[in-house]
A and B are shown apart, each in its own frame.
Chain A
């Protein structure tokens, strides 16, 4: 016979009574003071969740709840309940520490290899209309927000660069329809960028910087084509989607400040991936130059020319430039390893 004291919570009101419960041969007796107040069949009672440090209550057939005073009290049951198993898992330190280690390893491995692989496959699987809409919207947004202004390059210069661009595409056996070149004026200096739909944007100052030696500009264009050929823009977008979603799901419980500080750590992961992509595009540029029978130093010369501008420009620009791109000296050296 089991006898245990606890609280009896009535089903119909907020009343709570101090009672003694006894269980004998499958019958529960509830006694308050000396009088037996109620009697139930144990098999029709429901045992509630077991939680660490919380006494396990049972719901009686009349809807009332009995909660024992003793925390460790175990209700006799035919089979082990899920919450009891959980309760055991949750109280073992070595198991918990092993799970923490496994958790960290899983997250690390997933970010390190799972995310890039997954984004590569999704990028291949997505219809090309997605890239098209995405590229058009990005350009429109950049124009509308006046990040870019209309190019002020003279028509003759534009045509000269465009002719070289067409030749590059033809020589590399790339279809002209998948790519387009656009000129824009940008206040922050020489730059070129690739959009998802195959558009390459060249800033006026980049053309002016390399006007003396347009072979350098060709090499930069090949680097941008490398981004497009590898579907980098789409991959980056997919990657951000995965990381942001996971981050919200896992850390969504945190309050504002902690979440935003940890969130800025997420952007560091993004920068690391961005550097990998730059390296891939560099490799593409070097390889294409080689295939076209051009000297590979065209690209490293272009990087050197860019480096000079950004070093004169002051430290902050330099710093920002290096964070999303690999170290420029490393990129220049990469050629000699090929």
Chain B
């Protein structure tokens, strides 16, 4: 779709041509090779999986590129594995130290997040121009560690503001080449999204709970059933928040004179995809994860458009420096990863 915009920008769809089962095949072959090589190949597998996804993502006919080198990832992975192993050994063998170790992990978490963001963005390029992240470690500690503590101390009242600040920190520090992203998000939208999602959690609960009241004690099936039902409703409410915030963030992002974005992600489609993906992954014991990934990205990309301005043609391309993959690997093992899609 090529529609002229008022500021001579052109609206472009993100074309995502990856096939669910094509990616599944690629993922399985690489997984088998990783296992046969006792995990060494997994670094190459990661590069290849990402190259596939990026290679099938087109904006204005040009594909995204993944530039990380397998050896970089392997080095990061080995160190991350040693850390993970010592963490697990400590928690299982020496329970007294485990509290100390959790504290250490909590303390390095912001550092890992910044390193991971920097690594992932530095190795993503569009039209030979790399993305990047300019947030400092100091402000990462402020945003990822101090603010959540303040939010908790305020009994959650300041939490939407904390989420607003965190998103402002992440997206406001994105770089395209040496151009900074501008983000124009509003704090009140976060309050609105949180309130709407709390309402969409409480209303169904308030309707269902009185109906079942009293039958909990006699029938364990009803009790277990209602626990699952409340998980489902919580999941639904969280999805409401995710969709509202995703649309708001993407619509407020811009690289001046180069690109801006539009998102009109619909709740029904998003929720159905996330939920069916979850069921699919659980019942296949993780084996259908690649299928789920392609389904999710298809929905996200088809709800996103990019406005390109003439300035996109006149940027100078980035140099080929390499960063350490350590932060990215450690944070993905310790579940601190962040996905920007």
Given contacts A53-B22, A256-B335, contact A11 B61 (CB under 8 A): no
Check if A254 sits within 8 Å of B286, measured CB to CB: yes
Check if A134 sits within 8 Å of B52, measured CB to CB: no
Contacts of B315 in A (CB 8 A): 13-14
Contacts of B127 in A (CB 8 A): 9, 14-16
Check if B35 sits within 8 Å of A103, measured CB to CB: yes
Contacts of A7 in B (CB 8 A): 61-62
Which chain B residue shows the least CB distance to A133?
B94
Given contacts A16-B127, A90-B25, A130-B93, contact A49 B286 (CB under 8 A): no
Contacts of A309 in B (CB 8 A): none
B317 at the interface (CB under 8 A from A): yes
Which chain B residue shows the least CB distance to A258?
B281
Check if B96 sits within 8 Å of A141, measured CB to CB: yes
A268 at the interface (CB under 8 A from B): no
Check if A99 sits within 8 Å of B95, measured CB to CB: no
Given contacts A14-B129, A65-B128, A249-B39, contact A51 B52 (CB under 8 A): yes
Check if B29 sits within 8 Å of A54, measured CB to CB: no
Mask, A88-102, CB within 8 Å of B = 1, is 011111011001101
A251 at the interface (CB under 8 A from B): yes
What is the bound-complex CA distance between A237 and B278, given in angstroms? 30
Which chain A residue shows the least CB distance to B27?
A90
Query: Which residue of B39, B52, B95 contacts A54 across the interface (Cβ within 8 Å)?
Result: B52
Interface of B is mostly: helix
Contacts of A99 in B (CB 8 A): 28-29, 32
Q: With a 10 A CB-CB cut-off, give which of B18, B28, B316 has the most chain A CB atoms.
A: B28
Which chain A residue shows the least CB distance to B312?
A14
The smallest beta-carbon distance between B74 and chain A, in angstroms, is 13
Check if A262 sits within 8 Å of B282, measured CB to CB: yes
Check if B85 sits within 8 Å of A245, measured CB to CB: yes
Which chain A residue shows the least CB distance to B334?
A248
Contacts of A237 in B (CB 8 A): 92-93
Q: Which residues of chain B from 26 to 77 have any CB-CB distance to chain A below 8 Å in the complex? A: 26, 28-32, 35, 39, 42, 48, 51-52, 55-56, 61-63
Which chain A residue shows the least CB distance to B21?
A93
What is the bound-complex CA distance between A240 and B92, given in angstroms? 8
The smallest beta-carbon distance between A315 and chain B, in angstroms, is 9
Check if A254 sits within 8 Å of B94, measured CB to CB: no
What is the bound-complex CA distance between A255 and B293, given in angstroms? 10
Check if A93 sits within 8 Å of B25, measured CB to CB: yes
Which chain A residue shows the least CB distance to B19?
A53
Contacts of B42 in A (CB 8 A): 249
Contacts of A259 in B (CB 8 A): 335
What is the bound-complex CA distance between A103 and B281, given in angstroms? 17
What is the bound-complex CA distance between A89 and B317, given in angstroms? 35
Check if B63 sits within 8 Å of A54, measured CB to CB: yes
The smallest beta-carbon distance between B195 and chain A, in angstroms, is 23
Contacts of B31 in A (CB 8 A): 103
What is the bound-complex CA distance between A16 and B55, given in angstroms? 16
Contacts of A253 in B (CB 8 A): 289, 332
Query: Which residue of A14, A52, A53, A92 contacts B314 across the interface (Cβ within 8 Å)?
Result: A14
A-B contact count, CB below 8 Å? 151
B105 at the interface (CB under 8 A from A): no
Contacts of A91 in B (CB 8 A): 22, 25
Mask, B113-143, CB within 8 Å of A = 1, is 0000000000000011100000000000000
A2 at the interface (CB under 8 A from B): no
A150 at the interface (CB under 8 A from B): no
Check if A137 sits within 8 Å of B94, measured CB to CB: yes
Q: Which residues of chain B from 258 to 315 have any CB-CB distance to chain A below 8 Å in the complex? A: 277-278, 281-282, 285-287, 289, 312-315
Check if B85 sits within 8 Å of A14, measured CB to CB: no
Check if B28 sits within 8 Å of A96, measured CB to CB: yes
Contacts of B191 in A (CB 8 A): none
Check if B333 sits within 8 Å of A252, measured CB to CB: yes
Query: Which residue of A90, A106, A261 contacts B35 across the interface (Cβ within 8 Å)?
Result: A106
B212 at the interface (CB under 8 A from A): no
Q: Which residues of chain A from 68 to 126 have any CB-CB distance to chain B below 8 Å in the complex? A: 83, 86, 89-93, 95-96, 99-100, 102-103, 106
A67 at the interface (CB under 8 A from B): yes
Which chain B residue shows the least CB distance to A251?
B286
Q: With a 10 A CB-CB cut-off, give which of A92, A241, A252 has the most chain B CB atoms.
A: A252
Which chain A residue shows the least CB distance to B77?
A249
Check if A16 sits within 8 Å of B62, measured CB to CB: yes
Check if A262 sits within 8 Å of B92, measured CB to CB: no
Which chain B residue shows the least CB distance to A69?
B61
Check if B95 sits within 8 Å of A138, measured CB to CB: yes
Mask, A162-196, CB within 8 Å of B = 1, is 00000000000000000000000000000000000
Task: Known A-B contacts: A106-B35, A258-B277. Give 13 more (CB < 8 A).
Answer: A16-B62, A54-B52, A54-B63, A91-B25, A134-B94, A137-B94, A237-B92, A244-B88, A245-B81, A245-B84, A245-B88, A255-B339, A257-B235
List 12 interface pairs A-B (beta carbons < 8 Å), by A numbering: A7-B61, A14-B317, A90-B25, A103-B32, A130-B93, A133-B94, A134-B94, A141-B96, A237-B92, A241-B85, A249-B39, A262-B282
A interface list, Cβ under 8 A from B: 7, 9-16, 49, 51-54, 65, 67, 83, 86, 89-93, 95-96, 99-100, 102-103, 106, 130, 133-134, 137-138, 140-141, 237, 240-241, 244-245, 248-259, 261-262, 265
